[in-house]
Amino acid sequence: MIGAKRIVMLWIVWGIAWLGAATIQRSIWKPGETFSEYLQRRGVPLQVLRSISPEDSKYLYEIQGGEPFFELIDDNGTLLQSLIPLGEEMQIALSRQWGSGAYRFDIVPIVHKEVHDTVALSVRSSCYRDIDRVTNNPRLGFILKTLYKRRVDFRKLRKGDRIVFAYRQKSRLGEPWGQPVFQGAVIRTRGKDHFIFVDRDGNSWLKPYKEVKTVHTGTKTVYETVTRKIRTLRNRKGYIRPIPGARITSPFSYKRWHPILHRYRPHLGIDFGARRGTPIHAVNRGRVIYAGWMRGYGKVVKIDHGDGYVSLYAHQSRIRVHRGQYVSRGQIIGYVGSTGRSTGPHLHFGLYRRGRAINPLHVIGKGGSRYVVTEVTERKKRIKKFAKTEIKKVPIPGAEKLKKRMETLLHSSSVKGYRWREIADRLIYVDQITKHKEASNETGYDDYGQTDR
């Protein structure tokens, strides 16, 4: 850790050039003691009180009795510095000035140092006690136990079991501060390795990745059949109209001006105007004798109704029957289109008797009794909402690297713990704390620092 090295060097420079020998003392603020009583007790001239602004002087009442604070005292017993917390974020810094010996009063932020540490240990007595012994941080064991909940029973760990874990811990003046944050751990017990990896939300996973459920929502087009009943008329011979209700756009004629050919031509059928896709019904029951392409007529169906009658349905967009099929009266045989020679979607309907085209209206045009056609096949688009669940593997940042490092530490035997108090001495001077703040910023989240032991 670059940061730590820089702090040690600063300490050496500061220690030699400025102070000579001095010791850090951690004390508890006596309940009820006032700031001026403290100054008197430490032999600090009371004139420092006059330098405190009225705005700042109210903070003197905020010193918490029973809370720890830090003092730097030289060999002659002179107070060089005092750091007294005011709540969790700020502290009073009382510093003796070099040369004049006067004291300076400041209110400065409490700087948190963050340590990234990987610890490996063998269970000797209880794993909580062992973790505390090695880290001086009793909370670690209990948090680790929660992370292993229902995976490893900490009461069943045995002497010689190996525990490796990586965590971050903030420290304030050399003491653990706030909750430690685990990155991962491995416990080897009864010949099995139990890994856990912790994501940024504090959830533990057995693999270096987490399985995230994602729900995709959207809409899709579905097709469904719609049943519709259409009323029409059936004449005495049993014939109905191919498209109930459709308008006749061009009548039967032996001599008609052809709009495409620009010539007189016979029109041996009736044109019904209808939109593309409109179902075409068999005008009577019969047998399909033709279903396919006919030049000029496009897609065509011809039905033999017996008794010498044959019907023809031309320009279809899609044919729904095949040759040889028997169809019932009103059955859908295809859909209106514009195939072949056609100026637009319509049905050309022809009726033949003994091979000769006749005016269909002579057969289907005559009224008759009411008849109901059931239309069953119309497919309709519908938008349907859907939700699909997908499980995705999301790597936990740094977890693969951590796994390798923990695996190595699982086997190495000479790993000692890290003691918070050892660094406490290096963190006390205000200027240094400021410097340290810069240094600690260099340590990013994914950098699992490993302390030299």
Q: Contact residues for Zn ion (CB under 5 A)?
A: 269, 271, 348
Complex with Zn ion: residue 120 or 312, whichever CB lies closer = 312
Contacts 24+ apart (CB under 8 A), 43-52: 43/78, 43/79, 44/79, 44/94, 44/103, 45/102, 45/103, 47/102, 48/94, 48/102, 48/103, 48/104, 48/105, 51/104, 51/105, 52/105
Contact predicate 186/194, CB 8 Å:
yes
Classify 59 in phi/psi space as left (phi over 0), alpha (psi -120 to 50) or beta: alpha
Complex with Zn ion: residue 83 or 280, whichever CB lies closer = 280
d(CA 342, CA 347): 10
Please report how close the Cβ of residue 233 comes to Zn ion at its closest, in angstroms.
Answer: 22
Complex with Zn ion: residue 194 or 256, whichever CB lies closer = 256
Please report how close the Cβ of residue 269 comes to Zn ion at its closest, in angstroms.
Answer: 5
C-alpha distance across the termini of the chain, in Å? 13
d(CA 178, CA 160): 30
Would the CA dihedral through 31, 37, 41, 45 be positive or negative?
positive
Name the residue with the smallest CB distance to Zn ion. Answer: 348
Please report how close the Cβ of residue 314 comes to Zn ion at its closest, in angstroms.
Answer: 7
Please report how close the Cβ of residue 348 comes to Zn ion at its closest, in angstroms.
Answer: 3
Please report how close the Cβ of residue 327 comes to Zn ion at its closest, in angstroms.
Answer: 22
Complex with Zn ion: residue 26 or 341, whichever CB lies closer = 341
Please report how close the Cβ of residue 256 comes to Zn ion at its closest, in angstroms.
Answer: 9
Complex with Zn ion: residue 256 or 419, whichever CB lies closer = 256
Complex with Zn ion: residue 342 or 377, whichever CB lies closer = 342
Please report how close the Cβ of residue 274 comes to Zn ion at its closest, in angstroms.
Answer: 13
| Residue 206 Cα to chain centre, angstroms | 20
d(CA 249, CA 261): 18
Which residues, 6+ apart, have CB-to-CB distance to 420 below 8 Å? 135, 136, 137, 171, 174, 175, 176
Complex with Zn ion: residue 130 or 271, whichever CB lies closer = 271
Contact predicate 168/137, CB 8 Å:
no
Complex with Zn ion: residue 234 or 348, whichever CB lies closer = 348
| 163-192 CB burial, b ≥16 within 10 A, e <16 | bbbbbbbbbbbbbbbeebbbbbbbbbbeee
Please report how close the Cβ of residue 354 comes to Zn ion at its closest, in angstroms.
Answer: 21
Complex with Zn ion: residue 162 or 348, whichever CB lies closer = 348
User: Which structure tokens are listed for 117?
Assistant: 């540490």
| 324-337 CB burial, b ≥16 within 10 A, e <16 | ebebebbbbbbbbb
Please report how close the Cβ of residue 365 comes to Zn ion at its closest, in angstroms.
Answer: 16
